[in-house]
Structure 1
């Protein structure tokens, strides 16, 4: 293994992932037109490698191959090599990941693509070791086979690349208009519950991913259909994730997924989006069930994000690595004698017993702290009654171990700030303020919102990412969709109509630049962006909900708040395409199903007409204490800096500045007579 003393072209990039490869002996190019022109001029295939800075197997392939002189010399002689950060270029990643899944039946990172100079791919895969082993072909052997075929059968490769590209392009025009239905929602819930692991929580076997939006969907389904089994699946999964090693009991926050069925052994990288979505989910579970330990887990996770993933001006960083000093999980694991050396015999033994840290170990002869054993011995009801997951003695000792761990070994942080993931986190902070009524969480949300306005927007369009004083990349659908969701959550937390006005502006930009006016659905990238070999529309809700799912949800909520008919027209077209795209396997589109539920189950709008200088405390308390996903709040007050009638024209007919608050509950496009005591109307909203 070696690194070059002279940097390659990636040294001028901002991406932490690209900079990790800046001293590889591989003559890397960033994604740019010059690289494609060079490949065309020199008649060379392009080797495209896509990954991200906290990806364990990306590190492994880099050490084995990209830092290896023999591999580098071969790549430099026969290929034009391009390195892409998937988080900087989700458009490029999406297209070539679709290729990999189509060609191989699976995908993942590092993503390995070999393609023609015109960007059309003819080979796809993921990780390859340098030399062949077991049933895995060696990377160097693969490169040599490609060059042999390039010399002798280049027309065949060209035809393959053309066929793969045409297949991608045809996919986007398939499907027919359809109607969303309650049956789709029921089918999604049945499918999830049939795959539910009643012993360990989660769905299916190992590896297990949190997929929080599936749980958010099941919470809503449990509420609408009074399904105890759906609520049980959510609670069991949330409990199991917390007690397992996927939750960092020393520094808080959740890892990306569990490699085993018990949630004990994580893939140790921590992603902002997972933690943000899980905060949403634990908060909603607390609000629905009134169980205090869900609130505490959400607060622990918020503390982690604030402490380790927050820029001084408020934006949120991407992720923390799985590896330290080249070893996966080294930062997170302990030996019992190590703990005793820090805490002393009495406290160390107590700490080890509490977190099941043993001489035998549970991960490569070391220990991932967990509470699985304790969960079996302590009734969950004790958590609910005492509302204390972490007793004071453990809290004090944990802080000492956390301080020790910080200095024991270093952990790489990807300090890019992504608009899309920040949108999810802003929404999570706003929801925390709404439910828990702690100003610190609203401050987190508003400070991050100000960061986006200052650094990731020019007032008209959004950018993808920010790092070291520079924003770049024209925003994609996820940036607009998740930011729109964040503004919606800020509105529901504060009832300030300006957030609705801004959310409408974001949706208008999406419609103008991303919407397919002929067939419906939103494209992944803007009409003003670089045109790639394919302009896809993504619907699948994977680790993160798709942009189309979130847009549909936001449009639904905004329509119910504003009554805007132009939104209704876009929404109808969007729902028609969504139904066709999701009908075969709706459980793979659970965030979409949350949007569908806004359409197929009764929704209610509560119009609150308030006198001057009236405190909104009663309304905010009602929103804090009740899980009301099908209810939209419209607040008419002379105190608002933005006229409600500007965004919700129908409210002009409601009287202004009455002597006392008046509450109008509307359902199925009709409103009841006003009620003057809020508690009289709460029961009817559930």
Structure 2
């Protein structure tokens, strides 16, 4: 529509004469996008982008649709014809448009107020897993048919389900999907990183756009699965993905850019595809033969006469993936590709997506103990502190030296999650304090204290025709899902009763939304798992750093999603007592470490030896 209509002189003249035209960036204003997408779905039965809305001057919509060509063709009305029809209706029968806009708005507001009284239990968790496994593609991995999206939070949920229930089918679905995505063309075998989705069932032909949030969430999934299974390939794929983000999507001061485009010189995928002769010119005959065979680069090609590098014929990734000969060649091909054609970068820095990526680097540090991952997470955290908050309010995005937009639920929820991941990776009390501070701000500005649930936009933000609450976990988890998960974790770490009250209301709100189709809300299911399955709390009273090293080793080598850890030392005891009042009851009086393992508000006798705790876990 941008090229066919908005840049067309005839359309532009008509729009400028008879309409006020407003173009909205849905990433900067997800509140506007959410409300009017609901309108489109209500009026037409479907949605999608581009989203086209016609509304009254008071924001109330009366007509909606998605794509319109300039002129009518087949079943599609033309945009110009539509503009003329609406203008004529405006002149001759404006009252009808007013009535329609009122009816649409009332329906929207009524929908956002609906309540029910469903109950959730372990069977709902089991139903979510069962529904996902019924959709599982055992041949190529993933769920459902093409196009296939990574949806890493579904894999994160299934992995936790596999661990808690010792369910081999769930684990197999996770591993097969992670293996297949890496082997396919959705993974960039030259420059690393994952594209947005696959247009086919094999994960071979992607939509070549690379998004920060996909890569961040996939790192979470691969790192978790490596920690649970110990399989080296998952660690290596996660590290490749992190290397891509560090090289291609990192601002010099530490924040992370949004995305890289699919198109180069107006052609989708041109940047990423090769023919065998090209490779031969760069590597020489012998090395090219090895490289082309390894990545299935053929004369016939697999995408519009060229080849997307892939390893699907390998059937499964080898363990480990490291191939020194290939890596040396890969560097040469990357340099050649980089100079061959340009690739546009969306260099906006979004608070919400940065939150997911900070958490991914923090988790990588927690499990792999590589200092550079912690430094990258901390640098991005500093960037957000310096550029995307004034200390009390978060902003949506930063570009060209300027921050703008009042933060939405995702900004607060995802940043709180990032700080929680940094806390779990370092056990530094200040990250816990800051996570609690931002989730408290989220509660004050966004929470519906009567019915539960967090609104999409703040009580202090611009007022729109509706104030929705988004729950569905789409390409990224919803702010409400992440907020519930963070509330669960923070409550178990702090014992804060005020958090408990908010958490109960939030879980009741989510129950009403998720109970009928729980596999569409997998991040919410992860929050419910914290509530419905046994959790444990470990309070560590440590007099020396030596015990801390032993504790870090335990954390990095065991997948323990239901465990919360607090560390009390001489340096942290005062700050910790402010955050978790119960920590005052654990004495710091000897030169020996004490470990208290608690479950269901009851603690076992303390032990000095951490290996005993590991056996109990």
Decide whether the 8 Å contact of 1:180 with 1:600 is kept in 2: no
Counterparts of 1:534 and 1:446 in 2: how far apart (Å)? 37
1:163 and 1:614 mapped to 2: Cα distance?
A: 67
Q: Is 1:178–1:577's contact at 8 Å kept on the other side of the alignment?
A: no
Structure 2 unaligned spans of 5+? none
Tell me the residue number matched to 1:293. 233
Note the 1:68-83 alignment, pairs <5 A.
Answer: 68-83=8-23
What residue in structure 2 maps to residue 326 of structure 1?
Answer: 266
1:506-541 superposed Cα distances (whole Å, 9 cap, x missing partner): 111111111111111111111100001111111010
The answer to whether the Cα contact below 8 Å between 2:547 and 2:593 also exists between their aligned partners in 1 is no
Asked if structure 2 preserves the Cα contact closer than 8 Å seen for 1:242 and 1:297, the reply is yes
Give 1:585's aligned residue: 517
Where does structure 1 lack aligned partners over 5 or more consecutive residues?
A: 1-60
> Which residue number corresponds to residue 99 of structure 1?
39
Is 1:398 aligned to 2:364, yes or no? no
Tell me how far apart the structure 2 counterparts of residues 349 and 613 of structure 1 sit (CA, whole Å).
53
Instruction: Return the offset for 1:613.
Output: 4.5
Paired residue secondary structure (1:81) = coil
Q: Is the 8 A contact 1:498 1:641 kept in 2?
A: no
**Correspondence for 1:525:** 457
Partner of 2:391: 459
- Residue 225 of structure 1 is aligned with which of 152, 160, 165? 165
Q: How does 1:28-39 map to 2 (within 5 A)?
A: none
Say which SS state the counterpart of residue 522 (structure 1) adopts: coil
2:356 paired with 1:424: yes
Alpha-carbon distance in 2 for matches of 1:455, 1:340: 46
Q: 5 Å matches for 1:34-433?
A: 61-375=1-315, 380=317, 383-384=318-319, 387=320, 389-433=321-365
CA distance in 2, matches of 1:407, 1:613: 49
> Residue 256 of structure 1 contacts residue 270 of structure 1 at CA under 8 Å; is this kept in 2?
yes
Q: In the alignment, which residue of structure 2 is the partner of 1:666?
A: 598
Contact 1:419 1:479 in 2 (8 A): yes
**Structure 1 vs Structure 2 CA RMSD:** 1.3
2:537 aligned with 1:605, yes or no?
Answer: yes
Deviations 1:27-57 (A, max 9, x none): xxxxxxxxxxxxxxxxxxxxxxxxxxxxxxx
Deviates more, 1:137-146 or 1:86-95: 137-146
User: Which of 434, 437, 457 is residue 369 of structure 2 equivalent to?
Assistant: 437
SS at match of 2:271: coil
Structure 1 contact 610–657 (Cα < 8 Å) conserved: no
CA distance in 1, matches of 2:224, 2:349: 26
Task: State which drifts further: 451-460 or 147-156.
Answer: 147-156
Deviation at 1:554, TM superposition (A): 0.2
8 Å contact kept, 1:637–1:657? no
Task: Give, in whole Å, the separation in 2 of the partners of 1:153 and 1:345.
Answer: 73
Instruction: State how far apart, in whole Å, the 1-side matches of 2:311 and 2:587 are.
Output: 56
- Report the CA distance between 1:495 and its aligned residue: 0.4
Aligned partners of 2:351 and 2:411 also within 8 Å: yes
Deviation of residue 175 (structure 1)?
1.8
Residues 642, 403 of structure 1: alpha-carbon distance in 2 compared, 3 angstrom cutoff: farther
Q: Which residue of 1 aligns with 2:470?
A: 538
Supply the distance in 1 between the matched residues of 2:545 and 2:279 (Cα, whole angstroms). Answer: 57
The CA distance in 2 between the partners of 1:195 and 1:615, in whole Å, is 46
Partner residue in 2 for 1:557: 489
1:511 aligns with 2:443: yes
Moved more, 534-543 or 348-357: 348-357
Q: 1:120 to 1:397 in 2, by over 3 A?
A: same
Q: How many residues align?
A: 617
1:615 shift after superposition: 4.3
Choose 591-600 or 510-519, whichever is displaced more: 510-519
Would the aligned equivalents of 1:498 and 1:642 in 2 still touch at CA under 8 Å?
Answer: no
> Structure 1 residues 431 and 127 mapped into 2: Cα distance closer, same or farther (>3 Å)?
same
- Partners of 1:189 and 1:221 within 8 A in 2: yes
Following superposition, the deviation at residue 149 of structure 1 comes to 2.6
Alignment of 1:491-510 (within 5 A): 491-510=423-442
- What is the alpha-carbon distance in structure 1 between the residues aligned to residue 443 and residue 339 of structure 2? 49
Greater than 6 Å deviation, 4+ residue runs: none
Q: Are the counterparts in 1 of residues 119 and 515 from structure 2 also a CA contact under 8 Å?
A: no
* Contact 1:259-1:266 within 8 A present in 2 as well: yes
Q: In the alignment, which residue of structure 2 is the partner of 1:26?
A: none
Is contact 2:41–2:47 with CA below 8 Å preserved after alignment? yes
Per-residue CA deviation, residues 350-396 of structure 1 (Å, 9 max, x unaligned), is 21111111121111111111111122xxx55xx23xx1x24111111
How far residue 477 of structure 1 moved from its aligned partner, in angstroms, is 0.6
Give 1:77 shift.
Answer: 1.8
Q: Distance in 2 between matches of 1:449 and 1:626?
A: 26
Alpha-carbon deviations, 1:584-638, whole Å to 9, x = none?
1111110000000000000000111111454411111101000000000011111
Find the aligned partners of 2:149 and 2:33 in 1 and give their Cα distance. 21
Please tell me whether the aligned partners of residues 351 and 397 of structure 1 are also in contact (alpha carbons under 8 angstroms): yes
Deviation at 1:125, TM superposition (A): 2.1
